[in-house]
Structure 1
C-alpha cells in the first residue's frame, strides 16, 4: 500500500477538530477495527506533512526523529489530560508539566527587526531550529484553551469500540464519524440478535 495516509483517508475529522487543533492532534493516533493502528506522526516525513497541512511547519522543515518523538510524547500527555477531563478525575502532574513546559518554549514577543529598504518592523523570529518549539507551544496552548473553555463539558471519547478518538459531543451524538456510528449500531443489533436466540 503506497498511498500516503492522511487523517481524511482514514476517518473524517472528529466533531470539534475544526475548532481545536489540539483535538485534531490527539486524534492523530487512530485505533481501527481488526487490531489496526495508524499513527499520522509515525515517521519524520509523516510528521512534517501533518505539521505542514496545519500551518505549523514549512514543507521543507526537515523534521527529524527526535522532533517526532517529542510531538508523540506531548500527544500522549494531552490524551491523558483529555481522559482525565472526560472521567472527571485529577490530571497527572506530569501531563500538566508537559503542557506548561511546551507553552513556555516559544517566545511570544515580536522582536524589532530592520529591513534595509523598508526600515523597522516587528516580527517573531522563527528559524528552523525553533519550528518544533513553536508547534509544541501552539498545540499546548490550544489544549489549554479547549480544557478551560465551556466546550470542555462536551469533550468525550468516541462510543464505538475500538476507536480511541476524542470529539466534542453535539446533542446525543457520541461517535467521531458516521463509520463509527454505523459500527456501534451494528454491534448493538448483533448483540440483541445473539441474546434473543435460544440455546
Structure 2
C-alpha cells in the first residue's frame, strides 16, 4: 500500500528560499502560532514530494524512512549553522562536519565501470540511496555557498515568535512572511496600548 502525501497548507516561501534550497530545507520544519508544528519532511512520502518540488528527486524515487531521517538530520545541522551565523556565535564542529560529509558522499564525476562484453564505460548510480546522497550533497553545498557568500550578512531568524524560520533580510524586514510581520506589529501595538493604560 503506497503512502500518500497529506496536503498541508504550504507556507509562503521566506525571502531567499527560491535562490537557496538549503534555506528552504532549514524552513521545512516550523513552529506556527498557537504552538502548532509543521514538518514538510515528516514522512517518506512528504520528503519525496519536497525533493521533487525542488528538482532533487524523481516523483517515483520511493523514499524510505531512513532516507527521510537523513534529510531531517541534515536540516537540523544546517539550522544550527544558520543560527550560529545569524547570531554571530561559533558553529558547532559537528554541524560543520555533517555538511562536509554530505558534500563528499557523492562522486563529482561519473564512475568508471567495466562490462565484460562491451568494455569500459562511465556512469553514475541511480538507486534511491544515490538520489538521496545527491540531494544531501546539493543541499549541503548550497548551505556552504550561502554561509560563505555576501548574502550571509543578510541571513537572520524571523523576528516574530514563535516562528523559527530563517530568511535573507531585505532592507529592514526581519520577518519571513507578511503574516509574521503583521503578528509582530500587532504585538508591538498591543504592548504600547497596555503600557499606556
Per-residue deviation, residues 45-68 of structure 1 (Å, max 9, x unmatched): 101100111111111111111111
Residue correspondence of structure 1 range 79-90 to structure 2 within 5 A? 79-90=79-90
Per-residue deviation, residues 109-144 of structure 1 (Å, max 9, x unmatched): 134689xxxxx9865432333111111101100000
Q: Which residue of 2 aligns with 1:162?
A: 162
Establish whether residue 68 from structure 1 lines up as the match of residue 68 from structure 2: yes
Unaligned runs of 5+ in 2: 115-119
Q: Which residue of 2 aligns with 1:102?
A: 102
Per-residue deviation, residues 12-52 of structure 1 (Å, max 9, x unmatched): 10001111110001000011000100000001110110011
TM-score of the aligned structures, taking structure 2 as reference length? 0.90
Distance 1:144 1:191, change over 3 A: same
Q: Which residue of 1 aligns with 2:38?
A: 38
Q: Which residue of 2 aligns with 1:18?
A: 18
Q: Which of structure 1's runs of 4+ aligned residues deviate more than 4 A?
A: 111-114, 120-123
Residue correspondence of structure 1 range 82-161 to structure 2 within 5 A? 82-111=82-111, 124-161=124-161
TM-score of the aligned structures, taking structure 1 as reference length? 0.89
Aligned length: 188
Whole-Å separation in 2 of the counterparts to 1:127 and 1:80:
30
